[in-house]
Amino acid sequence: MQVWGLRRSEGDPALPIQWVQADLTEADSLDSLPFSQLSGLGTLVYTAAASGFNDEAYRAAYVDGLAHLLAILERRQCLPRKLVYVSSTSVYAQSDGSIVDETSPTEPAGFGGRRLLEGEAVALGSKVPGCSIVRLGGIYGPGRTRLLDSVRRGEAVCYDDPVIWTNRIHIQDAARAVIHLAELDDAEEIYLGVDDEPSADGVVKRWLARQLGVPAPPGAEQPPSSTSRRMRSNKRCSNARLRSSGFVPSYPTFREGYGELIKDSVG
Ligand SMILES: NC(=O)c1ccc[n+]([C@@H]2O[C@H](COP(=O)([O-])OP(=O)(O)OC[C@H]3O[C@@H](n4cnc5c(N)ncnc54)[C@H](OP(=O)(O)O)[C@@H]3O)[C@@H](O)[C@H]2O)c1
> The CATH number of the domain where 107 resides is what?
3.40.50.720
What average pLDDT does range 154-161 have in this prediction?
95
CA of 195 to the centre of ligand 1 (A): 20
The reported pLDDT for the residue numbered 232 is: 87
**Ligand 1 proximal residues by C-beta, below 6 Å:** 6-9, 23-25, 47-49, 51, 61, 65, 86, 88, 136, 138-139
**In terms of residue numbers, what domain contains 109?**
4-265
Which atom number of ligand 1 is nearest to the Cα of residue 171? 16
Among the atoms of ligand 1, which is closest to the Cα of residue 46?
45
Please report, for residues 30, 100, 173, 175, the alpha-carbon distance to residue 179 in angstroms, rounded to integers and kept in the order given: 25, 23, 10, 6
pLDDT in tens, 31-51: 989 999 998 999 999 999 999
Task: List C-alpha distances in Å: 26 to 2, 22, 36, 224.
Answer: 25, 8, 21, 38
pLDDT for 267: 64
Model pTM score: 0.97
Percentage of residues in the chain having pLDDT higher than 70 = 100
In tens, the pLDDT along 206-240 reads 999 999 999 999 999 998 888 888 888 899 999 99
* C-alpha of residue 49 to centroid of ligand 1, in Å: 3
How many distinct structural domains can be found in the chain? 1
- Please give the number of the atom of ligand 1 that sits closest to the Cα of 48: 24
Apex 71 CA angle, 65 and 74, nearest 5: 140
